[in-house]
Structure 1
Amino acid sequence: MLKEKLSQRKISLASGSPRRQQFLKDLGLDFEIRLKPVEEVYSDSLRGAEIATFLAELKAQAFENSLADNEILITGDTIVCINDQALGKPKDEAEANEMLLQLSGKTHEVISSVCLKSNQKTKTFYDKTVVYFKSLSNEEINFYINNHQPFDKAGAYGIQEWIGQIGVEKIEGSYFTVMGMPTHLLYTELLKF
């Protein structure tokens, strides 16, 4: 249905994330991947959804004046928030370990923001999901980091991976939002766009 509605539009995804790419395929969209390097820096005054939204829009701005007339560009960003602190992607094993220790036995929010951009307009939206983690042992954390290398993931974990299977007790909200793309909102917003 979405594919037919957007048949006259060129869809581009500005993301190297295999998960985001798979979501667009699962929605039945034909798209191309367009990547531009963006330094993901934001003001300390931003909180929660403001950060994810700012970064999604920053990634879209990199394509200013380079979109085709019929093109819709999709960018996204995901952050993990605990105690009003945003956790991005860990730089190394030590930082991944620190993040997972912070999340262990606690509740946190995952916020995924999406920006749709064309030459005519820009629309940004986000979704939040609450994630409940069991207490993780040092052995579990080390096993996960060593075997899954979660350095490309906000908060140092992927819910679809081993740590999610053994560590996530429950979620309130969309599973896909935790994976990096609120697909239910993307579908609705693309139909409107």
Structure 2
Amino acid sequence: MKNIILASQSPRRKMLLEWAEVPFEVVVKATDENYPRELAVEEVPVYIAREKALQVQAHLRDSYHGQYEGRPILAADTVVVLGEEVIGKPVNRRDAIEILMRLAGREHRVITGVVILHAAGETSFQDITTVRFHPLTEEQISFYVDKYQPFDKAGAYAIQEWIGVVGIESIQGDFYNVMGLPVSRVVQALTQLDLQ
């Protein structure tokens, strides 16, 4: 498989690609994560992922003069959706607790948008996993927030941490999608590129 460019500094995405034995190099550029409000919620993470990929593509083209030409660029973005509301990363401790109080005892969707820029153009898709939390007390939620500091995570939680282990009642779809990358679909897409 080609050595790809991962346009993400997420330790979880790096770990998942390592587990899948996909060779990669990390290149990131600061990207505005705002999006047009008229977008359907399912399109939001794809839009943001595309912006991340395009920023990295422009940076590589401008700074490295073709050295990375032909290397696929992989970007992803994950959002949590409650009803039709996109829930981003918490701004502080209180916000994280309030987000998790809203998710407790309810079902929400985790949507990861994936964009791969390659020589032939773009491959993009989104993967949706439905997650239901058990009812949780504010004490449990405060314990989680204080110990794990989930301020860099959409929806204020990571499924592979304590709250996922004890708090999740059910999950429909790809577990790894909730971690931030539907890695099996990514590998399938990259394999298709290698075959072209």
Q: TM-score, normalising length from structure 1?
A: 0.93
**Cα deviation, residue 44, structure 1:** 1.5
2:101 alignment partner in structure 1: 101
More helix per residue: 2
Aligned length: 186
1:11 alignment partner in structure 2: 4
**Cα deviation, residue 47, structure 1:** 2.8
**Cα deviation, residue 90, structure 1:** 0.8
Q: Secondary structure at the match of 1:41?
A: coil
2:144 alignment partner in structure 1: 144
2:55 alignment partner in structure 1: 62
**Cα deviation, residue 119, structure 1:** 4.2
1:85 alignment partner in structure 2: 85
Runs of 4 or more, structure 1, over 3 Å off, are: none
1:3 alignment partner in structure 2: none
Partners in 2 of 1:61 and 1:88 — Cα distance?
21
Q: Does 1:190 align with 2:183?
A: no
Q: What is the percentage of aligned positions where both structures have the same residue?
A: 37
**Cα deviation, residue 120, structure 1:** 3.5
For residue 51 of structure 1, what is the amino acid of its counterpart? V
Kindly indicate whether the alpha-carbon contact (under 8 Å) linking 1:53 and 1:114 is maintained by their aligned counterparts in 2.
yes
Kindly indicate whether the alpha-carbon contact (under 8 Å) linking 1:115 and 1:122 is maintained by their aligned counterparts in 2.
yes
Kindly indicate whether the alpha-carbon contact (under 8 Å) linking 1:47 and 1:86 is maintained by their aligned counterparts in 2.
no
2:28 alignment partner in structure 1: 35
1:47 alignment partner in structure 2: 40
For residue 87 of structure 2, what is the amino acid of its counterpart? L
Q: How much is the aligned-residue C-alpha RMSD, in angstroms?
A: 1.2
Post-superposition CA distance 1:102-128 (Å, at most 9, x none) = 101100000011110124311111110
Q: TM-score, normalising length from structure 2?
A: 0.91
Structure 2: gaps spanning 5 or more residues = 62-67
Structure 1: gaps spanning 5 or more residues = 1-5
Q: Secondary structure at the match of 1:63?
A: helix
**Cα deviation, residue 185, structure 1:** 0.7
Kindly indicate whether the alpha-carbon contact (under 8 Å) linking 1:109 and 1:128 is maintained by their aligned counterparts in 2.
yes
Partners in 1 of 2:76 and 2:25 — Cα distance?
15
Post-superposition CA distance 1:31-83 (Å, at most 9, x none) = 11101000110122123211111111111110234252231111000000011
Kindly indicate whether the alpha-carbon contact (under 8 Å) linking 1:10 and 1:70 is maintained by their aligned counterparts in 2.
no
